[in-house]
């Protein structure tokens, strides 16, 4: 009701009908924006967009819509109306990327992860990799610094097993020694059209890492990625010269 006090008349302390209608219209517009941004966020994730790509998209779109809703209002409104663990994932991302509030981001990711949300597993794994000292300071156990990577991979693997595209790629990316699990997840992501996964999978085949060396397969995956990625195009020539026909 606080917002309505601005629109009371001086004479009879009643609300102008037109003003209250404008407030309702503004509230509905903000709800529509929240729904749109949330659906767009998870669509970007399912398409395999990187953190930086998603962050850049949100920063640009919020700059252009500050008259409707700014980032602080967006976060507070979602916190008020959050009903699912996916909301905690979205809130964690907003705190991490837009507000640089890493402790709050961590808390939201952990809530979602504790309740089995695969997106939360993915973001918690990535967050532990990006900000390992946060977790050391919180637990007051210096030895946690050396287990943060393993714990991060644990969460990334849980997300990868649930089919999160970026988790499948990042699990293989951050595994120190190429593994069968990493190879499997890379292949799953590459088959779904993730270009970086196709490039890394080609290297696995080229060098015989976690699988039998197969230059023809390496060429096939690089050729698929090279249609949209210049780095893959450059690698095609070096492998092509090694293939015996």
Distance CA 47, CA 230 (A): 20
Q: Say if residues 89 and 119 touch (Cβ distance below 8 Å).
A: yes
Residues in the chain predicted with pLDDT less than 50, given as ranges, are 1-17, 245
Q: Say if residues 110 and 125 touch (Cβ distance below 8 Å).
A: no
Distance CA 124, CA 167 (A): 11
Which pTM was predicted?
A: 0.82
| Res 243: pLDDT | 60
Q: Say if residues 124 and 144 touch (Cβ distance below 8 Å).
A: no
As beta bridge partners, residue 8 has 15
Cα angle, residue 97 at apex, residues 84 and 77 outer, rounded to 5°: 40
pLDDT digits (tens, 9 = 90+) for 186-218: 999 999 999 889 989 999 999 999 999 998 898
Q: Say if residues 197 and 190 touch (Cβ distance below 8 Å).
A: yes
3-class SS of residue 91 = helix
Distance CA 189, CA 169 (A): 7
Length of the chain measured in residues: 245
Q: Say if residues 226 and 236 touch (Cβ distance below 8 Å).
A: yes
As beta bridge partners, residue 15 has 8
Distance CA 151, CA 128 (A): 8
DSSP structural state of residue 14: P
pLDDT digits (tens, 9 = 90+) for 11-44: 444 444 456 888 888 888 888 888 899 999 999 9
Token readout for 206 is 């080229």
């Amino acid at each position: 009701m606080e917002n309505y006090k601005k629109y009371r008349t001086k004479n009879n302390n009643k609300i102008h009908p037109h003003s209250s209608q404008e407030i309702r219209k503004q509230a509905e517009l903000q709800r529509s924006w929240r729904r749109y941004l949330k659906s767009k966020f998870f669509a970007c994730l399912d398409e395999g967009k990187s953190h930086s790509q998603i962050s850049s998209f949100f920063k640009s779109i919020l700059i252009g819509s500050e008259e409707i809703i700014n980032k602080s209002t967006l976060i507070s409104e979602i916190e008020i109306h959050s009903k699912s663990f996916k909301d905690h994932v979205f809130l964690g991302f907003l705190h991490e990327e837009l507000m640089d509030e890493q402790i709050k981001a961590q808390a939201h990711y952990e809530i979602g992860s504790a309740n089995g949300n695969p997106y939360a597993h993915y973001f918690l794994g990535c967050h532990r990799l990006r900000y390992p000292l946060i977790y050391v300071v919180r637990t007051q156990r210096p030895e946690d610094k050396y287990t943060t990577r393993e714990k991060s991979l644990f969460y990334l693997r849980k997300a990868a097993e649930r089919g999160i595209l970026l988790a499948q790629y990042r699990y293989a990316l951050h595994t120190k020694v190429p593994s069968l699990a990493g190879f499997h997840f890379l292949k799953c992501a590459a088959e779904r059209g993730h270009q970086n996964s196709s490039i890394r999978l080609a290297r696995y085949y080229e060098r015989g890492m976690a699988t039998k060396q197969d230059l023809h397969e390496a060429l096939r995956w690089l050729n698929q990625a090279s249609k949209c990625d210049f780095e893959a195009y450059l690698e095609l020539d070096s492998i092509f010269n090694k293939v015996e026909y």
